[in-house]
Amino acid sequence: AIMSLSNAHHISKEEWESHNKMLLEPLAVNDSEVFSIIKKEKHRQTYGLELIASENFASRAVLEALGSCMNNKYSEGYPGQRYYGGTEHIDELERLCQKRALEAYSLDSEKWGVNVQPYSGSPANFAVYTAVVEPHGRIMGLDLPDGGHLTHGFMTEKKKISATSIFFESMPYKVHPETGYIDYDRLQENARLFHPKLIIAGTSCYSRNLDYARLKQIANENGAYLMGDMAHISGLVAAGVVPSPFEHCDIVTTTTHKTLRGCRAGLIFYRKGVQNVDAKGKETLYNLESLINQAVFPGLQGGPHNHAIAGVAVALKQAMTPEFKAYQLQVLANCRALSSALIDHGYKIVTGGSDNHLILLDLRSKGTDGGRAEKVLEACAIACNKNTCPGDKSALRPSGLRFGSPALTSRGLVENDFRKVAEFIHRGIELTVEVQKSLDPKATLKAFVQALSQVEKFQQRVAEIRVEVEAFAGQFPMPGLPEL
């Protein structure tokens, strides 16, 4: 039988056996090149200090679900209404994920629904705009240099950068350049002139709680929807340790891999039922459910990533445990410890501190900037990112560094450990200032990186810090799959 098969398909018995063996081999055997890159990345994650505020370490169970056979199945449509057969278990999984998503945020299924299919936060946001804002309709979001997100709209004098600004009309709102807090008064004035259809209550670099009640009032004045983008804080919201956007928003989007600590995906929550009742007692109902579901599929996406939905379902179950709440309280405590330790080292923190999982350190008074400091810290095995500070003149030379506590807290670090982390950061920034002083004040970032990597005394300093950072970081356990 095999011989006739091999004749028919021009494949020899040996080739077929070898093909079948290939399908069963572990990654390490089957593709040592990819395996070794993953190993190196695992080493970097284990022996470095991960302070990027949007990152986290997913649990073993989440990664197992993500690496499962759920990857193999197409299932365009929604539970009970699919375009392909064989979807009974996919339906069960998607319904479970929806149920857990509502439970994790204590939402009544009569009043809220959720779409668990968005591939990530950016497609989730775009799906919402597609659903409820007409082409070239108006959207207001926090400006990117002030701590917003690209998908909340972004354009320069020369060019519309974000698709939100290309296909819709975006007008940013700002933080106050001195205090770093959102300028709600100015937002209100501008909204009265701009008449947005949708206002976004969401941030990617803002260390303070949002005033959702005020934002809703501004939205209502203009007959606009209020969309919360809780991507950064969705784990904190699930744990109930920061104010929830659900009380005031009509729609809430999120990613699932930041503080929520799942795999990379997105969710859209939308209100159902009565939207408002007029003076005569006449009820208007929300019609978001079908608009949003249709925008996700068939509007924008193809088949849902069922392996990711499985991973999200697992993360949502974990998010409802007392252990998760304890973790999120520690995320907050660690962020405050990091913030106050850096203030003790003489640094300025934008807004003077943090209500959440991140801080923005302003390097202007130190005579250096975020781009240069980020490079030195990276060389010392400390991962963070440069970020504009309120009032920055140029987005090309951001003067701040954004640090977040979620990832290292997942490895078990507590306040004292974060004080040690602050010391490592301080040493890295001192070195940044020294390297910069050795160069012409107008030296480019490229020249800076060259000096850092070529001048022996700087290399020695980097090596000293790096050895200590790696020894320190290596003590803490690493969540995830043992082998990968």
- Rg (the chain; Cα; Å): 25
CA distance 455 to 442: 19
Q: Has 205 been annotated as catalytic?
A: yes
Quick check: 149 binds ligand DSN (CB under 6 A)? yes
Closest listed residue to residue 228, CA positions, set 207, 249, 258: 249
Asked if 368 and 242 touch (Cβ cutoff 8 Å), the reply is no
Q: Does 254 bind ligand DSN (CB under 6 A)?
A: no
Q: Using the minimum distance from each CB to ligand DSN, give the nearer residue, 121 or 398.
A: 121
Closest of 188, 136, 131 to residue 164, by C-alpha: 136
Residues for the chain: how many in total? 484
Binding mask 121-140 for ligand DSN (x = CB under 6 A): x-------------------
Between 77 and 172, CB nearer to ligand DSN: 172
Q: How far apart (Å, rounded) are the C-alpha atoms in residues 241 and 354? A: 13
**Which residue, 149 or 248, is less far from ligand DSN as judged by CB?**
149
Asked if 207 is part of the footprint of ligand DSN (rule: CB under 6 A), the reply reads: no
User: Distance (Å, rounded) from C-alpha 235 to C-alpha 256?
Assistant: 8
Cβ-closest position to ligand DSN: 54
Is 357 catalytic? The answer is no
The least CB distance from residue 193 to ligand DSN, in Å, is 29
Catalytic residue among 152, 232, 248, 257: 257
Residue 299 burial (10 A CB sphere; 0-12, 13-18, 19+): middle
Question: Number of residues in contact with ligand DSN, rule: CB under 6 A?
Answer: 4
Interface residue with ligand DSN, options 54, 130, 354, 410 (CB under 6 A): 54
Which member of 205, 263, 380, 389 is catalytic?
205
CB nearer to ligand DSN: pick between 267 and 465: 267
Which stretches within 380-455 are classed as H helix? Answer: 406-410, 415-437, 445-454
CB of 149 to ligand DSN, least distance (A): 6
Nearer of residues 222 and 259 to ligand DSN, judged by Cβ? 259
Q: How far apart are CA 218 and CA 186, in angstroms?
A: 11
Q: Which of 115, 162, 165, 204 binds ligand DSN (CB under 6 A)?
A: 204
- Bridge partners of 387, per DSSP, are 400
Within 315-354, the residues that bind ligand DSN by CB under 6 A are: none
Q: Contact, 318 vs 61, CB < 8 A?
A: yes
Where on the chain is the footprint of ligand DSN (CB under 6 A)? 54, 121, 149, 204
Catalytic positions, please?
A: 205, 257
